[in-house]
Structure 1
Amino acid sequence: MILQAIRKKQPLVHSITNYVVANFQANGLLAIGASPVMADELHEVEEMVSIASALLINIGTLNERTKESMLLAGKKANTMGIPVILDPVGAGATAFRKKTVQHLLAQVKFNLIRCNVGELAAIANVRWQQKGVDSGNGSIAITDEAKKIAQQYNCIVIVTGEKDFITDGVQSQWIAGGHHQMTEITGTGCLLSAICGAALVVGNDPFTQLADTLMTYKKIAENAKMSTKYIGDFQITVLNELHRLSQEGEK
């Protein structure tokens, strides 16, 4: 099981992430035996990423300082062969976010883009009405556009939602399941991106490793809902399920 493989490998995931989710993201990584570090200071990101197993770039609370840190860390990771994940939070919400994502994609080689449908639309330049950092509303051919982006940037693209879609531009898979309460907790998508970073370093089949991660995350949501009633308990149970499955596997 992918979470057990991560626990055995104990990767260090360097996350240049947003302050809304940093604690939940760190606790989620710790729950599966990975090590989190959230360094975003311009003067240390290159040194920090050089000892990491994977780099996550999450633009949730983007500013000019962290933008420069993301670029430096991403380029350093590329030179060292460290996988880089992009979580383009709210990419279409403002011109600054969209321009930053375009710049990052032009300057850094990403192994994975993990986004929602609104963020996919922004990257693909499809007309879309984004609602802040939420996915918003519009019309897009997810399979076609995700494949195009995967081919354009030579990476894997994951589009999460009620059903998740994963593609490397050639092979593709839809993954059903989960529970809508995952969308009522801040940071579940951001945590998934970090876990995907950890998953990328535990084998030699990135597509399968990430598809397994998505299926496991859907199962965690289902298990959490079965044993909880209130949203606060649900959040804690997600962490508990990550911990349990990484130790015991699905029974």
Structure 2
Amino acid sequence: MAEQQHTNTNTNTSTWGSQSWTHLTSLRHQSPLIQCITNLVSMDLIANTLLAAGASPAMIHSVLEIPDFTPHTQAVLINVGTLTPEWLPAMKAAAGVANKLNKPWVLDPAAVGASGFRLKACLELVELKPTVIRGNGSEIIALSMASIGNTKGADSLHESSDALEAAKSLAKSSGSIVAISGSVDFVTDGQRVVGAHNGVQMMQKITASDCAVTALIAAIVATDPTHAFEATASGLSVFGLAGEIGMGLANGPASLRMHLIDSLHGLDQETVVNRVKITSFS
């Protein structure tokens, strides 16, 4: 996520700002319990991001706890960043419970093209119908290509706009909302496309910032699962907006991390309504 680099003729930011504020307010009031089966690098930032936004994080990843714990959650986040064969069964089990109980779950296919094991695992998870898939441009391209039988890996240089057609294809084949992080964050259901333009480039210097926004998406979708497309766009933009405010107080990545969390916690109605920047590309 970074500063706006694209323009669009169909802009109604006040409507999106009001909707994003409604989503954030609902999150704060409901404080949904979000089960996070996520990578070891991201756990701390994800937990603090969810707490700052108003959600309740739970880092439960043992397959033995899934039957007892997952039914009590409002959404599940699955992030494969530090994937191991021991964790994959828990990921599949949690996704299965979420589906059985009509709870949303969100997939972050981190570094999906890095190995055959990781790619196969992500394809198996996609078959379990995530509500939302969020990745960077290269991850979405790799996952989309593999889902149609092309296993050639994608490099890490793709911008979000490069992956838009791949995201549409993946959304149609999976039935998921697909979000692409980049200088503009795109969201598509295979037909509609919106771009979230909030954020600053320095956020990419914070380890697990993309993991954290995926968790925020899961929390907001938990409060409005029938409008996962809009909730995903709200999550991306609200997180980016917190980064913009935090950057005004920061001296570099370390202090931005702190101010990002503080700014997310302190977002008010006027700021969200007036500063969220989401545009329609369809």
Give, in whole Å, the separation in 2 of the partners of 1:139 and 1:243. Answer: 27
* Structure 2 counterpart SS, 1:208: helix
Matched, 1:235 2:257: yes
Matched, 1:109 2:129: yes
Give, in whole Å, the separation in 2 of the partners of 1:72 and 1:213. Answer: 26
Structure 2 partner of 1:123? 143
Give, in whole Å, the separation in 2 of the partners of 1:160 and 1:115. Answer: 6
Give 1:90-239 correspondences, 5 Å limit: 90-106=111-127, 108-125=128-145, 127-130=152-155, 135-137=156-158, 141-203=162-224, 204-239=226-261
Give, in whole Å, the separation in 2 of the partners of 1:175 and 1:199. Answer: 15
Structure 2 partner of 1:43? 64
- Kindly provide the amino acid, as one letter, of the partner of residue 78 in structure 1: N
* Structure 1 counterpart SS, 2:216: helix
Check whether the contact 2:160–2:186 (CA below 8 A) recurs between aligned residues: no
Structure 1 partner of 2:278? none
Structure 2 partner of 1:20? 41
Check whether the contact 2:247–2:260 (CA below 8 A) recurs between aligned residues: no
Give, in whole Å, the separation in 2 of the partners of 1:210 and 1:137. Answer: 21
Give, in whole Å, the separation in 2 of the partners of 1:159 and 1:22. Answer: 21
- Kindly provide the amino acid, as one letter, of the partner of residue 121 in structure 2: T
Check whether the contact 1:220–1:241 (CA below 8 A) recurs between aligned residues: yes
Check whether the contact 1:13–1:197 (CA below 8 A) recurs between aligned residues: yes
Check whether the contact 2:135–2:181 (CA below 8 A) recurs between aligned residues: yes
Matched, 1:70 2:85: no
**How far has the Cα of 1:159 moved from its partner?**
0.4
**How far has the Cα of 1:230 moved from its partner?**
2.1
* Structure 2 counterpart SS, 1:177: coil
- Kindly provide the amino acid, as one letter, of the partner of residue 219 in structure 1: L
The total of aligned residue pairs comes to: 244
When residues 179 and 113 of structure 1 are mapped into structure 2, their CA distance, relative to the original with a 3 A threshold, is same
Q: Deviations over 1:211-238 (max 9, x none)?
A: 1222212211211111211221100001
Q: Deviations over 1:47-89 (max 9, x none)?
A: 2111000001100100011001101111111100110100000
**How far has the Cα of 1:138 moved from its partner?**
8.7
Check whether the contact 2:137–2:159 (CA below 8 A) recurs between aligned residues: no
**How far has the Cα of 1:139 moved from its partner?**
10
**How far has the Cα of 1:250 moved from its partner?**
3.9
Q: Deviations over 1:111-169 (max 9, x none)?
A: 00001011111111275543xxxx34599842211111111111100000111110011
Check whether the contact 2:27–2:223 (CA below 8 A) recurs between aligned residues: yes
Give, in whole Å, the separation in 1 of the partners of 2:126 and 2:178. Answer: 13
Check whether the contact 1:166–1:172 (CA below 8 A) recurs between aligned residues: yes
When residues 10 and 139 of structure 1 are mapped into structure 2, their CA distance, relative to the original with a 3 A threshold, is closer
Structure 2 partner of 1:249? 269
* Structure 2 counterpart SS, 1:18: coil
- Kindly provide the amino acid, as one letter, of the partner of residue 143 in structure 2: I
Gapped regions of structure 1 (runs ≥ 5): none
Task: After the TM superposition, list the runs of 4 or more consecutive aligned residues in structure 1 that deviate by more than 4 angstroms.
Answer: 126-129, 137-141
When residues 233 and 140 of structure 1 are mapped into structure 2, their CA distance, relative to the original with a 3 A threshold, is closer
* Structure 1 counterpart SS, 2:113: coil
Check whether the contact 2:137–2:160 (CA below 8 A) recurs between aligned residues: no
Give, in whole Å, the separation in 1 of the partners of 2:187 and 2:76. Answer: 20
Identity of aligned residues (%): 30
